[in-house]
Structure 1
Amino acid sequence: MALLKIENLSMRYHTLEGETPALNNLNFEVNSGEFVSIVGPSGCGKSTLLSLIAGLIHPSEGKILLNNKEIQNPCNECSKIGYMLQKDHLFEWRTIYKNITLGLEIQGKLSSENIQRVDYMIKKYGLENFKNYYPQQLSGGMRQRVALIRTLAVNPEILLLDEPFSALDYQTRLAVSDEIYKIIKDEGKTAVMVTHDISEAIAIADRVIILTKRPAEIKDILNINLSIENRTPLKSREAPEFRHYFNAIWKELDVHVE
């Protein structure tokens, strides 16, 4: 069942120099429990698309529906959308526990039920011994885990991930992508991730949406079917089909030097 629907979506920015088209007539759906990656050339409007879904900006044309209810700007469905940015944006003066409960605090939802849920996730995902630490005391990978638990604490229906591993070194991002994937799947969440990394997109997603250069249109949508059991992003890279998906996506991207 489709949780998110993008219908005839276009976005144009207006400046003193004129009009700049960013997105052109996008149409796709994201099903409940699905993990979708979005790839495309740099500057094609991938992050703009996430901002539109989050209700941070209003589209020039088209609709975005979450559970068949239109998302508007100012955002009318913000409590149902979790947005995880490139940087963790943890507050250095707050403990890990206080960072995780920040969203609940802002929304006035520090109920005993929500606190119990936070305590459960902190214990389940290996942060219990660190909840009284401060962000500067943690590794980059652990900070990203904290940022995700903070996002999940408000119990959103859909997660938006904007290059969530880009600030990490290569080895760390491989390990952290496994952790983040497991947490999202364990919590039964739906996720849409923007990434420049083709391998990362294939390894973590059920489907990959390929965008053209700006103004972005959908060039292709690939279903990722890998012949491995107990899939994780790291295991996905070992699948025999992996390189075929990589080559197919690379050929579709408008980034080649002529």
Structure 2
Amino acid sequence: MTDALLNVTGLSAVSDREGGLPVLRDVNLSLRKGEVRGLVGESGAGKSTIAKAILGILPRTVRVTGGWINFKGRDLLGMKPPELRNIMGSEISLIPQDPQTALNPGRRIGVQLADGLRLKRGLSAKAAEARALQLLADVQIRDPDRAMASFPHQLSGGMRQRVLIAAAFAVEPELVVADEPTTALDVTVQKEILRLIRHMQEVQGTGVLFVTHDLGIVAQICDSVTLLYGGKVIEDGPVRSVLENPQHAYTRALIAAGPRYDRPDAGLEPVPEEVFRALRQEIGIR
């Protein structure tokens, strides 16, 4: 795609800790500016490995063996650490999974937000504080002044996640990687957080790579979806097309395995073993 903000091409990686076991197998995906793409798969599918490769935080035990990650015409994999650090947190940012551990427990919320703005945007202390306060209002925290003066443990899980969304969008990045940002939240709060991420994304025109294991979340927030299994792309396309007309047997089985809100009494259908067997053979997993 010529207008892609992000192009992942032929990305392959192995785990040295597992004796060279492939964890990514020739992965291709693209993301346009202003698009929300879901990166979905079960545990171990490779979705978090792709996200970490984009962010430059792969563990030392995972080694890239081929491919490129092209962001605005620049290969992230070929960048030196200082150049990569300049991009991360300014042009590319992260909404992490667990707000409890992502925030510094010993520093007030306002200080943490303002420090990031001073570092990445060069704002004065006063301007950074004012911008941090506005950001908390933007993510619909009812009493932003109180939140600014609070420590993380004094806020609810939903409010802490709103703070992390504010931090991610604070510098108006071009790409946000959302790493399962609703996993630790109850269903009601989850819906609010999804709506908020979509709102901030639309206001700023940001591209979002949304990592999740939940096709229901994909249906709510994403424009397109990439489905993974065993480190390989199984299906890719617009969300409506993939969910209404899935091409792969694994995709069809996953959709059938999900709860049906229009048929609340219907039981869940597990993915048949023959689907997994054929899928492992297709990928080359023993």
- TM-score range with shorter-chain normalisation? 0.7 to 0.9
Determine the C-alpha separation between the residues in 1 that align with 2:156 and 2:34: 29
Structure 1 residues 252 and 61 mapped into 2: Cα distance closer, same or farther (>3 Å)?
Answer: farther
Which residue does the alignment assign to 1:82?
93
Which residue does the alignment assign to 2:64?
59
Which deviates the most, 164-173 or 73-82? 73-82
Whether the 8 Å contact between 2:92 and 2:174 is mirrored in structure 1 is: yes
Return the letter of the residue paired with 1:63. Answer: W
Which residue does the alignment assign to 2:123?
110
SS in 2 for 1:41: coil
Equivalenced residue count is: 240
Return the letter of the residue paired with 1:41. Answer: E
Whether the 8 Å contact between 1:202 and 1:242 is mirrored in structure 2 is: no
Determine the C-alpha separation between the residues in 1 that align with 2:169 and 2:34: 14
Richer in helix (by share): 2
SS in 2 for 1:171: helix
Determine the C-alpha separation between the residues in 1 that align with 2:163 and 2:221: 19
Whether the 8 Å contact between 2:12 and 2:64 is mirrored in structure 1 is: yes
Return 5+ residue gaps in structure 2 as ranges: 256-269, 274-286
Structure 1 residues 52 and 115 mapped into 2: Cα distance closer, same or farther (>3 Å)?
Answer: same
The answer to whether the aligner puts 1:221 opposite 2:247 as a matched pair is no
Structure 1 residues 243 and 61 mapped into 2: Cα distance closer, same or farther (>3 Å)?
Answer: closer
Q: CA deviation at 1:193?
A: 0.9
The answer to whether the aligner puts 1:160 opposite 2:165 as a matched pair is no
Determine the C-alpha separation between the residues in 2 that align with 1:155 and 1:187: 7
Determine the C-alpha separation between the residues in 1 that align with 2:228 and 2:138: 37
Q: CA deviation at 1:119?
A: 3.8
Matched ranges for 1:1-258 at <5 A: 1-15=3-17, 18-57=19-58, 59-72=64-77, 74=81, 76=84, 77-78=87-88, 79-88=90-99, 89-107=102-120, 109-111=122-124, 117-127=131-141, 128-129=144-145, 130-212=147-229, 214=230, 216-225=231-240, 244=244, 250-251=251-252, 253=254, 256-258=271-273
Determine the C-alpha separation between the residues in 2 that align with 1:199 and 1:247: 18
Determine the C-alpha separation between the residues in 1 that align with 2:245 and 2:42: 17
Whether the 8 Å contact between 1:157 and 1:190 is mirrored in structure 2 is: yes
Q: CA deviation at 1:245?
A: 6.8
Return the letter of the residue paired with 2:54. Answer: I
Return the letter of the residue paired with 1:110. Answer: L
Whether the 8 Å contact between 1:101 and 1:153 is mirrored in structure 2 is: no
Return 5+ residue gaps in structure 1 as ranges: 226-240
SS in 2 for 1:165: coil
Which deviates the most, 151-160 or 137-146? 151-160
Return the letter of the residue paired with 1:54. Answer: L
Normalising by structure 2, we get a TM-score of 0.74
Q: CA deviation at 1:61?
A: 0.6
Return the letter of the residue paired with 2:207. Answer: T
The structure with the larger Rg is 2
Whether the 8 Å contact between 1:211 and 1:253 is mirrored in structure 2 is: no
- Cα RMSD of the aligned pairs, angstroms, is 2.8
Q: CA deviation at 1:80?
A: 1.6
